Amino acid sequence: MFGDLFEEDFSFISNHHCGKAKKSKPRDFEPPAPRDFTNLSGIKNQGGTCYLNSLLQTLLFTPEFREALFSLGPEELGTLDDSSKPDAKVRIIPLQLQRLFAQLLLLDQQAASTTDLTESFGWNSHEEMRQHDVQELNRILFSALETSLVGTSGHDLINRLYHGIVVNQIVCKECKNISERQEDFLDLTVTVKGVSGLEEALWNTYVEEEHFENENLYRCGACDKLVEASKSAKLRKLPPFLTISLLRFNFDFEKCERYKETSCYTFPSQINLRPFCEQTEMDDSEYMYELFSVIIHKGGCYGGHYHVYVRDVDELGNWQLQYLQNHPQIFQFSPDENKVGLREIHKLTFKSDFQGQDLQSPPQKNDVQWDSEKNPPRLKDSSAGCHWFDLNDSKVQPIKEKDIEKQFEGKESAYMLFYRKSQLKRPAEARGNPRYKIPTHLLNEMNAANTELQKKRVECDSANNGMDLHLHLSSCYMFHNGALHPALTWKESVVDLTIDRRKTLGDLRQSVFQMLESWEGDMVLSIAKPLPAGLHLYQILDGDELTLDGIGLADGADVFVWNGKEVGGTKVMTGPDHEPVVINVLRLAEYNEGGKGQHFTESQHVFSCSTKLGELHRALAPSGGIILKNLSGPEKEAKNWEVLLEEDMNRTVRSVGLTDGCSVLILDSHDQSFVNVSSGNLTAFTYDISWLQVKNFCRTGDEEKHVKITATIETVMADIKMKAIRELQLEEELANASCLRPVSGNGKLLSPVPEDYTVKEAELKMGSLLGLCHGKAPTSTQLFLYFIVGSDQVASPEMEIVVEETISVKECLNLMLEKSGLSGDNWHLRRIDWCYEAGEALSQENATLKELNVCRGDTLVITEGKLPPKGFLKIPIWWFKSSSPKKHGEPAQDQVNGLTCQMDALQVSPAGDSPEHIHTGMDLCYAGTIEITGEASLEDLKMQALTLPCCQEQVVPLPSFLRAWTVDSKRPGKLLRSNKQRLNDYRLGARVEICIEPLQKEENLGPHELLLRVQMGIPGERDYYDSMDLVWDISKECTAWALRQRVAAHYCLPVEKIEIAKYFPERFEWLPISSWTQQISKRKRKKKQESLQAAPYHLKDGDVIGVKNLLLDDMKDFSTLRDDIGKEKQRQLTLEKKKSLQMLRNPHLENHGGQLKTASASQIPRVKVLQESQGSLQQKDQGNAPNPEEKKLWK
């Protein structure tokens, strides 16, 4: 439960510090916050450690425990600095506890971290996030401390403070013989259910007697017979500190569930234990105990949150301030709440407990007298030592003693009580002194840490309150075109200044004067803002007594330094009403080369946003011209343009919505045919002219060349072809016997573009490369298709065909068969999938290509064999023969761990059923193909599979003696359960293959049973015995611990004496299945644990589980010699694929003797595919992309 906390055998002589290799944690830039007004430190919650924090705070506020721990010096415990030394004896847990207590007492931070302490326990991040029971932690922590302190002067620390004795007695009523038994305790557990409070629970346990009478008699050893007797328990020895655990959690046997007892349960702040003790003759003071800590649980029995109420025995915290805050009519705080004073009518003279000085100081404003010290005053209180605080992880706040009564009942109620003897008195020097009895080395460490913290806070304060300003000097600027522009570069014209935002504008002005020693005359500071037109000035900064933050100056602001009137002799207009706006001005070009589009000239002009449109019209448009505005920036579609009418001429640039980047179009009187002035919209407008590349593929050799053809997106492809023919100086007759085909990035010719398409309809990008090829281009109602015969692109070259989109699938198939020289009706068409293999079949032979969404440029595959009737499945069947036992000494490469050794024999099912496809000598052989309706059951499929010639030799009594698998990636994949289930319910798919495995006995696996192949490792060898089937019920849980139990039971071995791992044959790797996270009691186990069916194991039917018997075999390496060979082959294959991909992606490289070099242009064929054959790279023409060989490599 708590990692190594309860397993720290002889940790006091540990040679390795648990924190030595701890994970690095990123250091926040922000230092931790200082302590609040209570002057006490909380503890950070690591995710689920609130129960630990509450217990640690209780131990901290137990001064006797704290001081006893501090009394153990480095000569007994060692030091953390020596933990890395091999011969050092370091007691890590008490050292980390000392260090944490010192931080909580002295380090000026709001909350301390327990990371180092929990790492000394051996906890990891998983354990830190899990919440446990605080009572159990209390016992385990004390046990670990006792073990760590063996051999030191603190070996009896726990017993000295917390050890008590209970005596159980049975008294014979006849001979008065007393039989007794002693029990030691560190804490007492008392019942809550049916009891009103603590005193009643103690009375029931230690005062009331249990009587043996009537049929329930006691056998007396002295009388040697059954007699009447009475049984009782008493407290024989009382510890200085009494810990009491309340049994809040119970079990309801009727509902069979746990629940939390939330009824009222009182407990006193002082208690007299005399009635419950064996010896009662001592003075009352020996039996009096005072409550000083209450650990509280908020929530239910399955989770919640812990916090603690603690009495500040040594008065280390500032509790009185809460009282001051609750009486504002008497006391008043300074603005930063660091000082407190009396209002005028309640002035009193009193002294501080720790300064001995009069707290009154000279009167200041508001008639409040402020204390000269930073810390709040400590008032004397009649209830000294009764100051209570609520310590809730990082949060600490004072409470009143009566607030404890709120924890008597409810979902948030007391869970553990801590009492101390009233006789225990604290020395006067310990009062209010957190440094009391702390060792010198810890004092020095905390002083250094506080100094470093203060330094970081100063640096952080400076960083948080510092602002960077960019000062623009007027002497480096000139004003033109409506804005300020640097006379030099921007970098040379700007001076960066960093200043505290809490300083005033006067301080900023003084800093600027000091930087510019030669400045003469008035200095005006104005907010500036870089705009597209240049730098523009806004409001002047005024009010030297105001802070920079108060005047709204932001970090990174631009400030212009000038005289407030002019720059370079030019008057500068400032403010938002004079912002310069950059407008794009477009005019129609006088010459347009061709196509349906229009060409424009574009220029930029700057206007003030307050400029009237009439002035803009006179500056830009000629007499009789008109202006259109476009508010969508660079977009120039007709629907975005709007005419500026005559009545708009008195409006400003800003009021009509013209901003930076907007465009206006200037049209002369002869260009106004494009405009419908009545509606104010542009009626004809297109994009700018661009160009396309055309390459000649009609001739071969050196005559191939490129030409550029100007076009717009509205230019028709037929016009582009005619221009290209003229530019290439080809015969005009070629226009009727040629077409344009886009060329892909790897040089492949794509499908021809219909000539009646525009560039936009053809989805061509400007600058694309087109090929001028022989052949008539398809019309817009025709489809250009690629097709191949079979799925092997190497054996069958890709062919092209043009068909009408309205022909049927059967007619298209006949045309393709005719073109490829094939005949017969034993063929069908399939689409090609993303892996460039035959995919979905076009099963509706009478449907048109258009209805089936066959598109221009698609690739179809002519596949041999008829399609099964509608509703039928055509399923290849593989037969799995039982493997022969492995003989000792066989080469490891001939076997793959028992059953899986023959998986690689599984091949893709052949198209035909010829017997030559049967793999002799293999465990898996091809049996044939069956056609079966999808409504048939799995049992029907097994019966039909038995009719295949290869299977008729097998003696199978019933279908339940057969096991069926799907075939995935050339291996058995999904196990098909339930013989009565329909095949359609399995969603097998059109290309499924089934593997049939014969069994020695009937099998009917349930939905929650997992079939695994387990194999035991041969001791001393990197090999395994034959695998065995193991059926594992995972209905309750599918965890590593449960699997280890099942495997151990299968082999009749102890659970702790086996190791297991899952085999990944595709990677030749074994992944050990660890279960240490599951080794906790069932009572503490979470409902949902880590399932092996999830990452990283993804456990499924048929997986191979390797088993190591640690009684005979100490080798924990699961790999075999064949795994080493397989990995090496995979590595070599990966290198070869990378080399092939490099050749595919860069066709200008050739392979010569293992070296790649650049080939000349004349050596590069038009389309090239590299394929691997017997270690050499061969080239073969392919006319289609994506490249099929590259697709295979991807796969």
Q: Which residues are catalytic?
A: 50, 305
CA separation for the pair 676, 687 (Å, rounded): 19
| Number of residues that this document lists for the chain | 1195
Neighbours of 11 (CB within 10 A): 22
Distant-in-sequence, close-in-space partners of 837: CB < 8 Å, separation ≥ 6: 791
> Of 746, 838, 857, 745, which Cα lies nearest the Cα of 796?
838
Amino acid at 87: D
Indicate the residue type of 317: G
CA neighbor of 997 nearest in space, from 1010, 983, 1011, 1014:
1011
Name the strand (E) or helix (H) holding 289.
strand 288-300
**DSSP characters over 57-95:** HHHHT-HHHHHHHHT--HHHH--GGGTTSTT--B-HHHH
Q: Which two tokens stand for residue 725?
A: 């023919």
SS3 100: helix
For residue 656, the SS3 value is coil
Angstrom distance (rounded) from CA 629 to CA 654: 12
* Pair 242, 164: CB distance under 8 Å: yes
SS3 content of the chain, % helix, strand, coil (to 5): 25, 30, 45
Residue 819 near residue 802, CB atoms below 8 Å: no
Q: Which residue, chain included where needed, has tokens 């022909």?
A: 807
Any idea what DSSP says for residue 501? Answer: T
State how far the Cα of 993 lies from the Cα of 972, in Å rounded to an integer: 9
The token pair at 323 is: 């009282």
What is the amino acid identity at position 396? V
Bond preceding residue 1147 cis, omega within 30 of 0:
no
Q: Are strands 1104-1109 and 1009-1016 parallel, antiparallel or unpaired?
A: parallel
Which amino acid does the sequence have at 954?
A: Q
Contacts of 659 (CB under 8 A, 6+ apart): 581, 631
Asked whether 204 and 195 are in contact (CB, 8 A), the reply is yes
User: 933, 871 in Cβ contact below 8 A?
Assistant: yes
Of 732, 727, 718, residue with least CA distance to 694: 727
Secondary element (H or E) of residue 145? helix 134-148
d(CA 690, CA 850): 34
**Rounded CA separation 620/660 (Å):** 17
Alpha carbons 842 and 847: distance in angstroms, whole number: 9
With beta carbons less than 8 A apart as the criterion, state whether 217 and 228 touch: yes
Q: Cα(710)–Cα(691) distance, rounded to whole angstroms?
A: 4
Separation CA 91–CA 80 (nearest Å): 9
d(CA 622, CA 632): 25
Contact between 587 and 605 under an 8 Å Cβ cutoff? The reply is no
Q: CA-to-CA distance for 135 and 139, rounded, in angstroms?
A: 7
Q: In Å, how far from its chain's centre is CA 352? A: 54
Count other Cβ atoms within 10 Å, centred on residue 751.
21
- In this structure, the number of other CB atoms found within 10 A of the CB of residue 101 comes to 21
